[in-house]
Amino acid sequence: MRLSIALLSIAVLLTPTAATADTVEPPPPAVRDFGNGPERNEVAADVPDQSAALRVPAEEPYFHDQDRGYPRQNQLPIPAENPADASIKLGLVPYHGIAPRLNDLQRRSKRVSAEIIGRSYQGHDLYLVTVTAPESRDEAREQSRIRDRVQHDPAAARDRGLPRRYKAPLFVNNNIHGNEWEGTDAALRVIEELATSTDPKVADLLKRTRLYFNVTANPDGRVNGVRVNGAGFDLNRDFVTASQPEVRAMRQVMIDTQPVTMIDLHGYVNGTLIEPTTPPHGANYEYDLFIKNTYANGLGMEAAIKALGHTPEADGVFPPQIPFRDSAEGWDDWPPIFSPQYAPFHGAVASHTVEIPLRVNGSDYTNLPVEELRRRSGINTAIAAAAIRATYGFVQARHDQLITDQIEVFRRGAAGEPSRTVPLGIVPGFGPEDVYNTAFPRAYVIPAGGGQRSATAAARLVDHLIANDVEVGRAKRSFRAGGRTYPAGSYVVDMRQAKRGLANVMLEAGADISPRVDAMYDISGWSHALLWGATVDAVTSLLAFQTAPVKTAAPTGSVPRGHGPLALKVTDAKEVMALNALLAQGVAVTWTDGGTALIPATARQTALVLSDRYGVAFTPAHTPAGTSAGSATGRPLSQVRITAAASADELFTLRELGFPVTPISTATLNGGFDWSTTDVLFVSSGLSYAALNPTAKAALDTFLTSGGVVTRGSTGAAFNTAAGLLTATSVAGRGDANGVARVVSAGGPVGGGSPAYSFVYSPRWFTGLGPEVTVEQAYAAEGPLVAGHWRPNPDGTGGQDAARGQAAVVSGRDERGAAVVLFGTEPLFRNHPKGLFPQVARALYWSASVRGAAVTTP
């Protein structure tokens, strides 16, 4: 289920014995419940250190031979039996039971191929099953050639025989939220039906389609009975960030299979929720092609589910609902962070979330009798299977048209056509409120020679674009675009390419959609161009020049020749990683308030290795004019040990940056905690100073006489006030406000060198600042929202206008000596805003080092 910034309103589920025709009422539309507020600040994550997992090499491509015929049968390794698997209680297939079933089906049927496409965060194999009629190697090679033509050959649109020769790909994604189990079981049921059927219609289907099933997208969560994967991430928020291995595997499946249709099976909304969505609609889709197909398949799934005969009176199951048709707003397809909203950029012209009806997770899993849980999961499995069958029937019936529409999506991109305005009434109910468009630039240029932060960040962004199958070129010589000259080596994303929608949704600034809707499902702004630290220019004209296709970004690391000390300015996440690696090896580093680490000459060899590993540039530890850096002052910096009451994404990001982090919560401290190995306390979730017992409070107060503190959000602000740290009043913006905001940074130890944009999610600002407080960053006087959704509360408070010019990040030292930084922004949110990570690192370095006396640099 798509849990939004707050929880969705779900109808109370009625058992058959309790339901009567007189008492059963239809459920309310699936909309967000603002009263519950955001969940990020409520529970401190306790995720084990993933440093070992982060050292695992990147996933190898699973389609080693794209032209290999079918079946591609593999004997899957059998996991150890796990009697604690949460699926067992529901009467569903436990994770350890999936591979044996797939091995048996491969033995019994030449229609079934099972492959391992990666591993989850906790090391579970991820299974992709392909169901299709057998193909020789030559036939498979021909399918690959056609698939490439569909994407890259403009003449494919004129080849009327092509759709008849091509097997339409369908992708069924299951169990991306671990405690929404039944999609997996429905997929296994349908796979077996297709594998063993003697129906001529099935034989015809498999001759003309390939059906791809991601059997369980989140085996960690399936086994553990939780929504998230082993790292604590909601995988269905990660698609344009791709921080998690499971998402990278799904991304590669979509790239390699290029599905014309996909469905993602979730739970639980009663009656079954079937997309398409309410507005706002993503502006970078070819929405005329998308809505006609998605709505048609939605109606087909609705009919198939109704045909099962479940009723509110007999089963507690309400009729299906289609948000586009049945709701005004609150279930949108604006951000490309969800799998069905990401798939269209790889050619899916029908794409759906399907929310099956009867809840079996949460308190129901704990409190309901096993018999009732299994009744519900049985109904859910039947409904999910009906949705799959309806969808493959839809693909079979519209086979040629779906392929033709996918060709048209890619053709428009390659031709550089303007964003098309969808005709009103294209499907019943499509009105002016559904029309969203964007303006595609001629190209995006990521300049070379824009400073080291730009170079390192540019390389990261370019590699990310390429991993998403966006075409990037590198200029062989200087060139002019958009009225300016760019140096050789600059990267160019030519927007006349098949997947220009995906390129644009990542690289454009986005839009402030606050005026158009009151309720959004999740985030509304995410721009990689503004949040990932690179310089990205949109240009409207592009003169002819030569570029070389880029497979991977050019190296950016360097160490100057010589024998003297080195400097590393921390303005990028990669520089944070390199510095933390130096500190972990015991290198004697000096930290300056200008955000530069000074490294002794004895560490030059280590710096050389790290410059290559992280792509960072060390410089001589003196000014360009030759003045010795020894006149600058700084403080000794050793490895910064963090104790964190934080959300899972923050723990992940801090550890990814190389900080050793110990998770805590109020309960942890009340049980007794040794502060002797802590340099900085990070507080954002699950820690209440007021709820500490006297012993825990005394121990924490002792730490605060010398330790550092960095906080974020409402929990962090409340901790600051309760602990008596900085004199600052925290003011809350509207709870569901989020997006990319324009900011102005001061030259302090935290704000100095920060980007001109930040990310907000339930934004805060600080007023009533005491004399000990320094404003490190403030919201801009204009806007400040660039892209996203930020309205005032009903009483007029908490809006953008109230935040203008207000302090967003502050620092200071309290009367006990604690060095404190308070964030009202969200610089680590879901591991996404890479360009903001160094701001948090500088806060941690400053907070940890400011206790020392000033020293002369090496």
User: What confidence tens digit (pLDDT) does each residue in 714-767 have?
Assistant: 999 999 999 999 999 999 999 999 999 999 999 889 999 899 999 999 999 999
Q: How far is CA 297 from the centre of its chain?
A: 27
Give the pLDDT confidence score for residue 451 in this predicted structure.
59
What percent of the chain is modeled with pLDDT above 70? 91
Q: Is the confidence at residue 581, as pLDDT, over 70?
A: yes
pLDDT of amino acid 35: 34
* pLDDT confidence bin for 54, thresholds 50/70/90: very low
d(CA 105, CA 854): 70
Q: What is the mean pLDDT of residues 569-578?
A: 97
- Count Cβ atoms below 10 Å from residue 676 Cβ, excluding itself: 7
Locate 371 and state its tokens. Answer: 């018999």
pLDDT band at 17 (very low <50, low <70, confident <90, very high): very low
Is the predicted pLDDT of residue 858 greater than 90, yes or no? no
The pLDDT-based confidence of 63 (bands split at 50, 70, 90) is low
Give DSSP secondary structure letters for 715-772.
HHHHHHHHTT-S--EEEE--TT-EEEEEEEE-SSTTTTT--SEEEEES-EEEES--TT
- Give the pLDDT of residue 450: 62
Question: Which positions ≥6 away from 48 have C-beta within 8 Å?
Answer: none
Is a pLDDT exceeding 50 seen at residue 249?
Answer: yes
**522 token code pair:** 């999740």
User: In this predicted structure, what is the pLDDT of residue 38?
Assistant: 43
| Segment 124-147, tens digit of pLDDT | 999 999 999 999 999 999 999 999
546 DSSP 8-state letter: -
Q: For residues 313 and 309, what is the distance between their CA atoms, to the nearest angstrom?
A: 11
Tens-place pLDDT, residues 592-645: 988 999 999 999 999 999 999 999 999 999 744 333 333 356 899 999 999 999
User: Beta strand 642-645 with 680-683: parallel, antiparallel or unpaired?
Assistant: parallel
Q: Is the dihedral of CA 605, 607, 613, 618 positive or negative?
A: negative
Which stretches of 219-369 are DSSP H helices? 219-224, 245-257, 287-306, 312-315, 323-326, 339-342, 362-367
Contact status, residue 790 vs residue 737, Cβ threshold 8 Å:
yes
Q: How many residues does the chain have?
A: 858
Interaxial angle between packed helices 452-467 and 500-507, expressed in degrees from 0 to 180 and rounded to the nearest 10? 140
What pLDDT score does 845 carry? 97
Structure tokens at 158: 């004129």
Are 858 and 598 spatial neighbours (Cβ–Cβ below 8 Å)?
Answer: yes
Environment class of residue 829 by beta-carbon count within 10 Å: exposed (0-12), middle (13-18) or buried (19+)? buried
411 sits in the region (left: phi over 0; alpha: psi -120 to 50; else beta) called alpha
Q: Looking at residue 27, what is its pLDDT?
A: 60
CA dihedral (46, 51, 53, 58) positive or negative: positive
CA–CA dist 575, 459 (Å, integer): 13
Kindly report, residue by residue over 502-544, the tens digit of the pLDDT: 999 999 999 999 999 998 999 999 999 999 999 999 999 988 8
Weakest-pLDDT range from 63-77, 163-177, 318-332, 771-785: 63-77
Residue 787 and residue 737 in contact, taking contact as beta carbons nearer than 8 Å? no
Q: Measure the CA angle with vertex 687, ends 682 and 689; round to 5°.
A: 105
pLDDT (0 to 100) of residue 40: 58
Token pair 């680590």: residue? 828
**pLDDT average, residue stretch 488-501:** 97
Report the C-alpha dihedral over residues 216, 217, 223, 227, rounded to 10 degrees: -130
Q: What is the mean pLDDT of residues 312-337?
A: 97
Pick the more confident residue, 618 or 4: 618
Of 427, 463, 462, which is closest to residue 444 (Cα–Cα)? Answer: 462
Edge-to-edge, what's the strand order for the sheet holding 633-637?
619-620, 566-569, 596-599, 589-591, 633-637, 855-856
Q: How many CB atoms lie within 10 A of CB 690?
A: 11
CA angle 177, 183, 189 (to 5 degrees): 155
The pair of structure tokens assigned to 538 is 């949109």
Strands 168-174 and 261-267: parallel
Confidence label for 443 from pLDDT (cuts 50, 70 and 90): very high
23 or 27, which is more confident?
A: 27
Cis peptide before 268 (omega within 30 of 0): yes
Asked if the model's pLDDT at residue 267 lies above 50, the reply is: yes
Contacts of 263 (CB under 8 A, 6+ apart): 171, 172, 173, 301, 340, 351, 352, 353, 354, 387, 388, 391
Q: Within 10 A of 701 (CB to CB), how many other CB atoms are there?
A: 15
Can you give the pLDDT at residue 396?
98
Residue pair 575/593 in contact (Cβ under 8 Å)? The answer is no
Of 745, 740, 820, 824, nearest in space to 777 by CA: 745
In sequence order, what are the beta bridge partners of 743? 779
Give the chain's mean pLDDT: 92
Tokens of 187: 């997929």
Residue type, 685: S
Can you give the pLDDT at residue 617? 95
Residue 227: CB atoms within 10 Å? 21
Q: Does the pLDDT at position 240 exceed 60?
A: yes
Give the per-residue pLDDT at 48.
Answer: 79
- Which amino acid belongs to residue 246? E
Confidence (pLDDT) at 62: 54
- pLDDT single digits (tens) 466-477: 999 999 999 999
DSSP3 helix / strand / coil % (the chain, rounded to 5) = 35, 20, 45
Instruction: Collapse the DSSP code of 44 into the 3-class scheme (helix H, G, I; strand E, B; otherwise coil) and give the result.
Output: coil
Let me know: does 275 contact 294? Beta carbons within 8 Å.
yes
Contact 180, 353 (CB under 8 A): no
List C-alpha distances in Å: 858 to 581, 597, 634, 654: 19, 11, 10, 28
For residue 755, which phi and psi values (nearest 5 degrees)? -65, 170
Which is nearest to 241 in space by CA: 232, 251, 231, 253? 251
Q: How far is CA 186 from CA 196, 263, 687, in A?
A: 16, 13, 41
For the segment 550-562, what is each residue's pLDDT rounded down to a tens digit? Answer: 999 999 999 999 9
Check residue 50 and give its pLDDT: 56
- Rounded Cα distance between 514 and 791, Å, is 6
**pLDDT of 828-852, one tens digit each?**
999 999 999 999 999 999 999 986 4
Instruction: Answer yes or no: are the C-beta atoms of 670 and 781 closer than 8 Å.
Output: no
Q: Residues 107-114: what's their mean pLDDT?
A: 98
Pairing state between β 473-475 and 491-494: antiparallel
Q: What pLDDT, on the 0 to 100 scale, is given for residue 829?
A: 98
pLDDT band at 855; cut points 50, 70, 90: very low
The one-letter code for the residue type at 803 is: A
Show the CA angle centred on residue 413, arms to residues 409 and 417, nearest 5°.
105
- Locate 579 and state its tokens: 């510095």
CB 801 within 8 A of CB 781: no
The torsion of the CA quartet 798, 799, 802, 803, rounded to 10 degrees, works out to: 90
H or E element: which one contains 460? helix 452-467
Tokens standing for residue 24: 């059963």
Please determine, for residue 64, whether its predicted confidence score (pLDDT) is greater than 90. no
Looking at residue 45, its pLDDT comes to: 81
Contact 279, 324 (CB under 8 A): no
Q: 326 phi and psi, to 5 degrees?
A: -110, -10
